[in-house]
Structure 1
Amino acid sequence: MQSFELFLLGKGISIFYIKIGLGFLFSFLITFFTIPTIIKISKRKNLMDEPGVRSSHLRKIPNLGGAAIFYSIGVCASIFAYELFSLYKFLFASMVILLYVGIMDDIVVMRAYKKLVAQIIVSSLIVIGSDIRIRSLFGICGVYEINYYVSVVFSILTFIVLINAFNLIDGIDGLAGGYSLICSALFGISYYRLGEYNYPLVVFSAVIVGSVLAFLYYNLSNYRATKIFMGDTGSMLLGFLLAFTSICFIDIFIDKSEPGVPLYHLPSAPAIAVAILILPIVDTLNVMIVRLIHGKSLFKADKNHIHHKLLKLGFTHRRSTFYIITYYLFIIVIANLLRHINVGLLLVIVLSLGFIGAYLPNLIYYLRNNTNK
């Protein structure tokens, strides 16, 4: 590999751009050509997603698309972004654990506490073993550097919340996949702008984008014979990887020689990361609040998610996905435009806009019913 890189450098070709292009291409192709085989095996062995309380589909659909996503990311990241697995030694191990837990849950349905235990183990491995953690709040509520043990606990909780948050938004065609693709692309662009040291993360983001894009081709298919869901395997894996990339993004702006002190030019980094991940964060918080108000279990499935509200208004899966992603992209744009204001204020604006988006469908439904009376 090193001799090949030297050859390219001698020809005046940047190996970085080659890695991005090939990483994206091969990730796309591996997922694209793996999924038809998974669909065939799923149907033959009846490994299908059965319609349930939270389901918004009426027929059995194969739900092991996440296995193809893992396969392509695992192969391509190991080849084109191999530096990451040297820097973060427990990253690949964590992905493998989530693959096992996800497939088990997609096939036989694991109990919630077993999945939670696995998520705690995975989060602890990456936070403690690879030292990927939130070290500072950049002045939010007057807090800068966080105590090591508080930082570890807070970071583990962040991983667990985001893993489950992406699982919860995976309720209609294209939403979890489309939003994951956008988040990965935005983080990749951000890493690129922050310099050469972060180039492995740029390539890693391109690999994720390629894999998810190929998955969406089948997930958004109008033909039942080629349709597939990512299942818990895919949603947990993508939630974990986006938690990883978001915490890495925040950590870039910390000066390790002066812990807790913001580095570079973006003291609002935590608010920007929240803005990029605003949909799963707000959707999960909203659902938890509604369940608590009505005295229901936090783990009991319901149809209070944003996408369920849009389906209730009569929108199709694709239109619902389009409207949700468009609105939350608007929030990301606003956060980027206001990135130089106080980080605490920006976080309040981002979360407020997020919750407004969560309750807009309720308002539209209320007005529509009152108008028709």
Structure 2
Amino acid sequence: MNFFYASLIAFAVTFLTMPVLIKVLKRKKLGDAPGGRKIHKQFIPSMGGIAIFAAVAVSLAIWAWQFPLPDIRYLLGAIALMFFVGFRDDMVELKASHKLLGQLVAVLLVVVVSDIRIKDLHGFLGIGELHFIISYTFSAFVILALTNAFNLIDGLDGLAGTIASIIFSCLGTWFVFQGLESYALISFTFLGGIIAFLFFNWHPAKIFMGDTGSLTLGFTMGALVIAFMENNAALPDGAFLKFEPTFTAGIALMLFPLYDMARVFTRRIRRGQGPMTPDKSHVHHFLMRMGLKHDRVAVLLGALQLAFIGLVLLMKDVSDHIALPVISVLVLALGFRLDQISVKYVKKKVHKEPRVLSQRKKKSSKKKIEVDREGLKESRINLN
């Protein structure tokens, strides 16, 4: 019940502070102006992550003393550091190298100091326990990838919040059942803040979460997913909600952000561009070209994310060597089908529209001037 109260407090603080934050940000002109790749048509304040982070801090200050803090205090410090990296980037854009450096410091706090890392692949691809250097490196890479993958999907009203609420609710529920109360507390406090944020971010959005929110949420989810994987693997055989395909279960929790990032990076590299070059090749852009609105895209992608988590739940007793190929084939098939449908829809739409040259054709032609010849004969004008 304490987790419900913690989530409720985070919800209330976010819900009450968000209108004030929106007014302040509008007054200070801190937000996203329309134009370029922006989908919105008017100025929208950003940095909604401030309210979420403040709500989580308040809720944790009230409830965290009841749970064992030593195992999460460095994680909380890393989350706070990532929040300030995002906050600094929203206020004054950071260089890519400086931004990555700040993220690396936060990652090191989690991987090295908190020891939240992938220590063993448990036979996946024939790999068992990892050398500690490989473990640190691979875990840092995974958290950075998950953090920035989530950051990349924050381009549509309600989408990032919907995906985050699904992930945090799944993680929090699993941690509760396994008695990992401190991790459950973090999950549910963030969940409460995100649900309240969605009231203001749902289409038409009144505020965006910005890097302040997306980096903080992505980093927190990345760290908790690794904690889930390691604690799940340590459960005895036959334990309740133990997933045999540990690696696949971790991927499924962040499946949509990971797929979207891989898809976008692949398309950009094929075009000879850098993987971080901004464009409109995200999944939500394709769905919107098909005529779907913001809210429908968010619900559809959230439902797909939840469906794949449910599929892994059904396959929880099979190995990664079976579960991962099944998930991969389904995801790639859906992605391929999406490309086919979206291209077909765009071609059909273009075909129906009038041609550009016909639009430019002058509708008005020279009118013939009718002359009253009989009248001219009787006039006094000299026609010689």
Task: Report the TM-score when normalising by structure 2.
Answer: 0.85
Alignment CA distance shift 1:84-1:298 (3 Å): farther
**Residue 221 of structure 2 corresponds to residue 239 of structure 1:** no
Contact 2:72 2:182 in 1 (8 A): no
Aligned equivalent of 1:35: 18
**Residue 165 of structure 2 corresponds to residue 181 of structure 1:** yes
Aligned equivalent of 1:305: 282
Counterpart among 354, 361, 371 of residue 331 in structure 2: 354
RMSD: 2.0
Secondary structure of 1:144's match? coil
- In 2, Cα distance between equivalents of 1:54 and 1:324: 21
Describe the superposition over 1:258-314 as per-residue Cα deviations: whole angstroms up to 9, x where unpaired.
xxx989543212211211110001000111111111110112111111011111111
Aligned equivalent of 2:174: 190
**Residue 270 of structure 2 corresponds to residue 287 of structure 1:** no
Aligned equivalent of 1:14: none
- In 2, Cα distance between equivalents of 1:251 and 1:52: 44
**Residue 196 of structure 2 corresponds to residue 217 of structure 1:** no
- In 2, Cα distance between equivalents of 1:325 and 1:253: 24
- In 2, Cα distance between equivalents of 1:344 and 1:309: 31
- In 2, Cα distance between equivalents of 1:176 and 1:241: 14
Instruction: Determine what percentage of the aligned residue pairs are the same residue.
Output: 31
- In 2, Cα distance between equivalents of 1:359 and 1:335: 21
- In 1, Cα distance between equivalents of 2:207 and 2:52: 12
Counterpart among 33, 43, 46 of residue 50 in structure 1: 33
- In 2, Cα distance between equivalents of 1:349 and 1:343: 10
What letter corresponds to residue 106 of structure 2 in structure 1?
V
Describe the superposition over 1:108-128 as per-residue Cα deviations: whole angstroms up to 9, x where unpaired.
222222111111111011100
Secondary structure of 2:123's match? strand
Unaligned runs of 5+ in 2: 352-384
Alignment CA distance shift 1:355-1:73 (3 Å): farther
Contact 2:52 2:197 in 1 (8 A): yes
**Count of matched residue positions in the alignment of Structure 1 and Structure 2:** 347
Contact 2:163 2:305 in 1 (8 A): no
What letter corresponds to residue 53 of structure 2 in structure 1?
F
Aligned equivalent of 1:59: 42
Aligned equivalent of 1:172: 156
Aligned equivalent of 1:101: 85
**Residue 311 of structure 2 corresponds to residue 334 of structure 1:** yes
- In 2, Cα distance between equivalents of 1:228 and 1:262: 46
- In 2, Cα distance between equivalents of 1:147 and 1:54: 44
Aligned equivalent of 1:248: 227
Task: Report the TM-score when normalising by structure 1.
Answer: 0.88
What letter corresponds to residue 250 of structure 1 in structure 2?
M
Secondary structure of 2:121's match? strand
Counterpart among 125, 136, 139 of residue 109 in structure 2: 125
Quick check: which has more Rg, 1 or 2? 2
Unaligned runs of 5+ in 1: 1-16
- Which sits farther off after the overlay, 240-249 or 331-340? 331-340
What letter corresponds to residue 216 of structure 1 in structure 2?
L
